[in-house]
Amino acid sequence: MARRCQEHAPAEDKADRVNSIPAKKPEPPKKPDFERSLARLEEVVRRLESPQLSLDDAMKLFEEGVALSRECQKQLEEAEGRVEILLKKADGKLVAEPFDPERESES
């Protein structure tokens, strides 16, 4: 009998491993939040205006500011592409139409 219990023990251990919760896959790095990036950009600009800033620090901040500015611009363009306007047609139905900033500025 003791031998039989030993035979079942490895199978039970294997079943426990199969039913255990697998490790979570690491999430891909998130894009920086627009508001956080904009706040950091404002802080960079404020620091660049400081007369006590060394040239080396100013260059590092300037490079960071340019990267932040580009990221914010990219996020704004992506958001603009996703924005839709709901238009009410003559028959009373609502229809989604892509937002066209050029057409809006002409109105």
**pLDDT class for 59, splitting at 50, 70, 90?**
very high
**pLDDT per residue as tens digits for the range 4-49:** 555 555 555 555 555 556 566 666 556 669 999 999 999 999 999 9
Domain residue limits, the chain: 31-83
Identify which of 57, 67, 61 has the alpha carbon closest to the alpha carbon of residue 32.
67
Other beta carbons within 10 angstroms of residue 44's beta carbon come to 20
